[in-house]
Structures are given as structure tokens and as C-alpha cells.
Amino acid sequence: MRRNKIISDDECSMGTGALIVFIAMVMLATIITFTLINITEKISQHTQKASEDVRRNSVNTVVITGAWVYDNQDDMLFMMEFGGAGDPLARDDVQYVLTCTEPDGTFHYRSAALGDSNGGSDIHVWEIGTDGPETPGFADVANFRPGARYFFTLDGGTQDSPGGAAGECGPPHLDTHGISANLYIHIPSGQSTHQVLTLSNGREVGSQLI
């Protein structure tokens, strides 16, 4: 008579244990793989963000390097310098905002593209080392070159009354009220620049504003 071999319980337990270990190893490998992928993705995103921050900080920037009282009215003269790399910027895409607040809390502001008086007296933009607005046939620059420096003028006044006699936020207004003004320059895809304007020697022509 043929006798069937019966597998012992011990051998069955060993097989089940091996299967459990195998499944655990597969799960562990899956968890490790997921963790590595997740870490790699975060590192990649952080690297891209850091790279973009460096690009924005070193390329798309403008710095106000000087400011003076320009005339006996309410005009001001500024010198600015652009970052040393990147693409040229159209002048019409660069915006300024001029603000000031009187001691009683009255707030004034005006805003337009550089070279646009927005209804006030003529204001101009030209590259340092080139002919200025007193030259016949003068025309404002159309584009700002990376690494170049420029002069530009601003006229006091408000958004609603840019040509007003009060010349708000201009040198005489700052002198009369004993206040400072704020100038903001906004450039496309880059950092905004803020400069506090404080008279150094009253409203005299040539006096520094920073």
C-alpha cells in the first residue's frame, strides 16, 4: 500500500515565516524607494527656487545711487544703476511710485512709467555719459541696458493733480512740512527698490535727497 508523506507543522511554519519576511522586505523596499523619490523631488525644487532667487537678486535689480534737488520748483534728479546681467528692459515697463505723508496724516502719491510725468512738467531719462535734456533733439532712452547707469528726473505733485502748484512730495513740500518722501521703482520680473528721500540742505538746487 502507498503511504502519503505528510509535511510536518514545523515545515509549514517555516514556509509561512519566509513568506512574511519576503512581503516585509517588499514593503520596506517600497517605502525606501518612495522616500528617496520624495527627497530627490524636494531637493530639486529647492535647487530651482534657490537658482531663481539668485537670478532675481543678481540680474533683475535696480539701485538708486544718488538723488538731488534739480530746480527751484519741485523737480528732482536721480541716478540709478541696473544689474550687470540679463535682458534689456523697456523704459515704459519700469514704474515709479512717489509718496509722502504730511504731519496731519494727509497722504500724497503719484505713479507712472519712468519718463512719464503723468500730466506734470516734462521729466526725462538719459544714460550717464550721453547728451542730457538740454541738448537739441534730445529723446528719452527707450531701453535700459544691464549694468548701465542712468539719470532720471521726477516732478512733485499728486496722481489727481500732477501739475498742481503745491508740488506734493517735491523738495519745497518736504521742506515746508519737515517730512521725508518715499520713492519706489518697480521692474518686470524683479525686485522693487525703495528709497527714502530726505533733504540734506533744504530746497537748494543740488542738495542731496538721500
Q: Which residues of 53-73 are buried (b: 16+ CB within 10 A; e: fewer)?
A: eeeeeebbbbebeebbbbeeb
pLDDT average per 10 residues of sequence, the chain (210 residues):
53 68 81 82 70 57 92 91 83 93 94 82 90 90 92 89 82 94 90 92 88
| pLDDT at 11 (0 to 100) | 57
Identify which of 80, 73, 76 has the alpha carbon closest to the alpha carbon of residue 166: 73
What's this model's pTM, rounded to 2 decimal places? 0.70
What integer pLDDT is reported at residue 108 of this predicted model? 94
* β-sheet bridge partners, residue 195: 183
* CA–CA dist 28, 61 (Å, integer): 49
The one-letter amino acid at 22: F
CB 206 within 8 A of CB 71: no
pLDDT of residue 33: 84
Q: Is 5 left (phi over 0), alpha (psi -120 to 50) or beta?
A: beta
